[in-house]
């Protein structure tokens, strides 16, 4: 019995367990199984006895143990020699010569294939990076898909991971490199390099060369090309996993593509152009976490806070929109403030995190090793690194685009160019940097954390002005195209909000007038009500009588839809007085229709018929077929209550197509307001307004100088 032999063997088994992330008992079971398959007869407890100091009697068993531990663990020649000595192995020198070449052979670049298989190379940087990492959440399916791709040896051994700063590219790459399946496939070792914005390529290549045994500490090569050739020759046909992390240039990334087709080169980068140059089509964009995954990641740090404060946690998750780095920083921050279970302290921490500067500058203290590995300590620092790498024009464009609604909303390239006052080349630069994401053909989107970062640097009001002008003009030009307005509705409503906050009153009026038919048709009554009230106030402040009358029509329409007939009647009466003062017949006609509807709803059928007939007379004078139909619809409905209107019935029979036209609009039928017909009529008037020459801050006029109130404002 030799306890020193047992301790040495236990050290070798521990090395295997650590490398393959298994328990020592699991390694002993696997060794037992493989020994039995090799023809040795062992009991289940035999290897455990060897670890206590019992030495195997057969030399073949000792040689097998040495080869097994050397191939699967992280051990060296000294360990092998120590084990053989303590086991009193009879042919120790011969076995050592077989397993380890002479020192002269080791200095040669061209190492023999048999030795390569025996010498496992693992970059200590991998162990360091993994120990500093956090447990991955929400990446299981992606990991499986990437592992399967690597095992099938697709894409000629090249794969690139790209995505937002802080999305977890490095963590995913390290998890992939350390997985059992990957290690089984690439058994000859792992090399790792973290490049960053200003890499010392020669230094990193020299470190790889030393790990591979290409050179001694005192040895050096003249240039980078010599290192690359030496490393490539040393790797030879070995199956190795090479991780090239955080590449900021194509040349730096390609300098470490030194393995053969038997190897895998896994690149991580923020820049899609670098990823495509490096890996071709084998580029995978890492998505942000879903809401449930974000909650799970936070629960790893503060489970009771996630459970007790669901609304505030959901608000934080929404703010950072699934970015893992931000979630980890928030989780660690809350962990500190929640540890002592003092409600006041935790509530204050949650309140502070609602402030953008506090959130963006949130950081965790760094270990010296983390600083050396270029780990970012805050979200602000992580994004700022990408921002500083941009040209001045791209920085300016990003500061402008940050005012747009964030992901999942998108915006067109035309909008991006006008709002940022930049060129397509600038947009391409932002897109390649990962700070501006593609969202379909000709469309882009910006992540919430990127926008928050850029907003802290945003100055002035010029971009807001361009945004308001572009989208309100867009709404006017596309007033009939509701499908297109659907796609841009978030942006247009944001433009209205900015016009409201920025006191851009005439733009606000124009925007509400343009979008009102769309809001009415889509049934967005609450939004419409808010902006119509703002429209009314803006018209009052600018003393725009035409716009005030239009606002009365809009509010009357919404009040009828909501059943608030008293309010509707009040606005309709005031609007009618103003329309008559302005001598604007189409507005008078519509308001008479509304007063007839209100009277009908209140049971005043005689009054309803009176308003309908007055409106019909005026509509005929205008020779407006839509207004004529609108009043006949009301007369026919009123007629069912007071004996019928023969003229209305005859007209509607003649114009039977009206019903189908209304239904085709997609608006729920309400014969009293005929919303489909009304919406189409309003849209036609908005469309006509596009022919006007409208300047911000000036009176709206036709080309002939007259004031086309209804044409421009309904």
pLDDT in tens, 367-391: 544 444 445 568 888 899 999 999 9
Grade residue 603 by pLDDT with cuts at 50, 70 and 90.
Answer: confident
Q: What is the mean pLDDT of residues 667-675?
A: 40
Distance of CA 15 to the CA centre of its chain: 40
Give pLDDT, residue 75. 76
- For the stretch 132-186, pLDDT in tens is 445 688 898 898 888 888 877 776 789 999 999 999 999 999 988 888 777 778 8
The CATH label, of 3.40.50.300, 3.40.630.10, 3.90.1150.10, 3.40.50.1220, for the domain at 122-285 is 3.40.50.300
Q: Decide if pLDDT at 409 tops 90.
A: yes
Strands ordered across the beta sheet of 411-412: 411-412, 443-445, 437-438
| Percent residues over pLDDT 70 in the chain | 82
- Annotate 641-654 with b (16+ C-beta within 10 A) or e (fewer): eeeebeebeebbee
List helix spans (H) across 322-423. Answer: 324-338, 343-352, 356-360, 368-372, 379-388, 392-401, 413-420
Q: Decide if pLDDT at 392 tops 90.
A: yes
Taking alpha carbons only, the member of 258, 283, 245 closest to residue 129 is 245
Residue 677 to residues 9, 529, 568, 600, 670: CA-CA distances in angstroms?
Answer: 88, 20, 20, 19, 11
Between CA 168 and CA 173, with CA 170 as vertex, the angle to 5 degrees is 110
Instruction: Select the more confidently predicted residue: 376 or 634.
Output: 634
Q: Decide if pLDDT at 253 tops 60.
A: yes
The secondary structure element, H or E, covering residue 375 is none
Specify the CATH number of the domain 477-713. Answer: 1.25.40.10
- For the stretch 609-624, pLDDT in tens is 899 889 989 988 988 8
Q: What are phi and psi of 3, to 5 degrees?
A: -65, -30
- For the stretch 316-335, pLDDT in tens is 999 989 999 999 999 999 99
Grade residue 114 by pLDDT with cuts at 50, 70 and 90.
Answer: very low
Give pLDDT, residue 428. 95
Contact 262, 239 (CB under 8 A): yes
pLDDT averaged over the chain? 82
Give pLDDT, residue 93. 83
Residue 208 to residues 189, 557, 575: CA-CA distances in angstroms?
Answer: 12, 75, 81
Give pLDDT, residue 161. 95
Grade residue 642 by pLDDT with cuts at 50, 70 and 90.
Answer: low
Between CA 545 and CA 552, with CA 546 as vertex, the angle to 5 degrees is 90
Q: Decide if pLDDT at 130 tops 70.
A: no
- For the stretch 205-244, pLDDT in tens is 999 988 888 876 566 777 889 889 989 988 888 889 999 9
List helix spans (H) across 502-584. Answer: 505-522, 525-541, 545-561, 565-582
| Percent residues over pLDDT 90 in the chain | 43
Grade residue 449 by pLDDT with cuts at 50, 70 and 90.
Answer: very high
The CATH label, of 3.40.50.300, 3.40.50.10800, 1.10.10.10, 1.10.580.10, for the domain at 390-459 is 1.10.10.10
267, burial (CB in 10 Å: exposed 0-12, middle 13-18, buried 19+): buried
Grade residue 688 by pLDDT with cuts at 50, 70 and 90.
Answer: very low
- For the stretch 522-552, pLDDT in tens is 889 999 999 999 999 999 999 999 999 999 9
Residue 21: strand, helix, or coil? coil
Q: Decide if pLDDT at 707 tops 60.
A: no
Contact 567, 594 (CB under 8 A): no
């Amino acid at each position: 019995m030799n306890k020193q032999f047992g301790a040495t063997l236990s050290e070798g088994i521990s090395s295997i367990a650590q490398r393959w992330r298994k328990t020592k008992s699991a390694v002993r079971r696997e060794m037992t199984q493989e020994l039995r398959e090799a023809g040795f007869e062992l009991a289940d407890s035999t290897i455990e006895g060897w670890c206590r100091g019992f030495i195997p009697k057969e030399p073949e068993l000792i040689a097998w143990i040495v080869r097994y531990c050397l191939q699967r663990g992280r051990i060296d020649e000294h360990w092998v020699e120590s084990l053989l000595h303590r086991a009193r192995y009879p042919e120790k020198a011969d076995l050592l010569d077989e397993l380890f070449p002479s020192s002269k052979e080791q200095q040669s670049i061209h190492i023999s294939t048999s030795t390569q298989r025996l010498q496992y190379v693992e970059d200590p940087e991998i162990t360091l990076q993994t120990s500093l990492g956090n447990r991955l959440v929400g990446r299981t399916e992606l990991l499986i898909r990437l592992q399967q791709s690597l095992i099938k040896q697709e894409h000629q051994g090249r794969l690139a991971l790209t995505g937002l700063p802080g999305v977890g590219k490095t963590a995913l790459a390290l998890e992939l490199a350390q997985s059992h399946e990957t290690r089984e496939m690439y058994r000859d070792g792992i090399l790792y390099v973290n490049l960053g914005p200003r890499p010392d390529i020669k230094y990193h290549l020299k470190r790889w060369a030393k790990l591979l045994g290409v050179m001694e500490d005192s040895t050096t090569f003249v240039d980078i090309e010599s290192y690359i050739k030496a490393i490539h020759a040393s790797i030879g046909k070995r199956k190795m996993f090479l991780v090239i992390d955080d590449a900021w240039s194509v040349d730096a990334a390609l300098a470490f593509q030194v393995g053969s087709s038997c190897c895998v080169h896994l690149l991580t980068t923020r820049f899609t152009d670098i990823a495509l140059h490096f890996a071709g089509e084998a580029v995978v964009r890492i998505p942000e976490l879903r809401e449930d995954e974000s909650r799970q990641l936070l629960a790893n740090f503060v489970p009771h806070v996630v459970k007790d404060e669901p609304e505030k946690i959901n608000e934080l998750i929404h703010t950072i929109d699934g970015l893992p780095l931000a979630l980890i920083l928030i989780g660690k921050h809350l962990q500190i403030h929640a540890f002592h279970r003092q409600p006041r302290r935790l509530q204050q921490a949650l309140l502070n995190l609602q402030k953008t500067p506090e959130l963006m500058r949130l950081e965790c203290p760094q270990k010296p090793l983390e600083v050396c590995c270029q780990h970012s300590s805050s979200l602000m620092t992580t994004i700022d690194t990408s921002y500083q790498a941009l040209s001045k024009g791209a920085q300016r464009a990003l500061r402008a685009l940050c005012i747009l609604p964030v992901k999942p909303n998108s915006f067109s390239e035309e909008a991006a160019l006008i709002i940022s006052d930049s060129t397509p080349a600038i947009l391409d630069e932002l897109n390649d940097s990962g700070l501006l994401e593609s969202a379909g053909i000709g469309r882009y989107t910006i992540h919430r954390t990127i926008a928050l970062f850029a907003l802290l640097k945003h100055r002035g009001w010029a971009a807001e002005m361009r945004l308001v002008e572009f989208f309100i003009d867009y709404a006017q030009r596309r007033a009939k195209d509701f499908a297109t307005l659907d796609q841009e509705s978030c942006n247009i409503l944001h433009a209205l909000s900015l016009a409201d906050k920025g006191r851009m009153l005439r733009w606000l009026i124009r925007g509400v007038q343009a979008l009102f038919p769309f809001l009415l048709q889509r049934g967005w009554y609450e939004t419409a009500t808010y902006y119509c009230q703002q429209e009314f106030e803006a018209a009052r402040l600018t003393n725009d009588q035409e716009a005030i009358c239009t606002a009365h029509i809009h509010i009357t329409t919404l009040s009828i839809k909501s059943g608030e007939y008293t309010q509707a009647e009040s606005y309709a009466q005031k609007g009618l007085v103003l329309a008559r003062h302005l001598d604007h017949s189409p507005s008078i006609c519509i308001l008479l229709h509304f007063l007839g509807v209100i009277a009908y709803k209140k049971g005043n059928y005689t009054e309803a018929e009176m308003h309908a007939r007055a409106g019909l007379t005026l509509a005929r004078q205008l020779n407006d077929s839509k207004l004529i139909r609108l009043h006949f619809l009301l007369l026919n409905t009123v007629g069912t209550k007071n004996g019928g209107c023969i003229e209305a019935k005859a007209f509607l029979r003649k114009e039977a197509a009206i019903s189908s036209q209304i239904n085709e609009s997609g608006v729920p039928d309400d014969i009293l307001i005929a919303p489909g017909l009304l919406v189409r009529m309003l849209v036609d008037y908005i469309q006509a307004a596009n022919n006007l020459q409208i300047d911000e801050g000036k009176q709206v006029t036709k080309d002939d100088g007259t004031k086309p109130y209804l044409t421009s404002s309904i």
